[in-house]
């Protein structure tokens, strides 16, 4: 999970984002990456607006952008 957090910080400014939100985003990125690797998936989709914000407490746009670049 630390790797995901470091990748997010390197990808986009996290200034002003509460630490707990950064950790949630890193956990989300880690879980999705692991799930995709285990299932040998090459694509994924996430309904982010407004579901992720309402039910998970963060907007994962940066994580989704990182996944698109990968």
Question: In degrees to the nearest 10, what's the CA dihedral of 8, 23, 67, 16?
Answer: -50
- Is 1:30 a contact under the CB 8 Å cutoff? yes
pTM, 2 dp: 0.84
What mean pLDDT, rounded, does the chain reach? 91
| Separation between Cα atoms, residue 26 and residue 9, nearest integer Å | 10
Of the pLDDT bands very low, low, confident and very high (cuts 50, 70, 90), residue 59 is confident
The residue extents of the domains of the chain are 2-69
């Amino acid at each position: 999970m630390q790797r995901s957090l470091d990748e997010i910080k390197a990808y986009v400014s996290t200034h002003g984002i509460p630490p707990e939100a950064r950790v949630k985003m890193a956990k989300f990125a880690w879980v999705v990456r692991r799930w995709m690797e285990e299932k040998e998936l090459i694509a994924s989709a996430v309904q982010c607006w407004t579901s992720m914000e309402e039910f998970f407490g963060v907007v994962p746009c940066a994580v989704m952008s990182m996944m698109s670049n990968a």
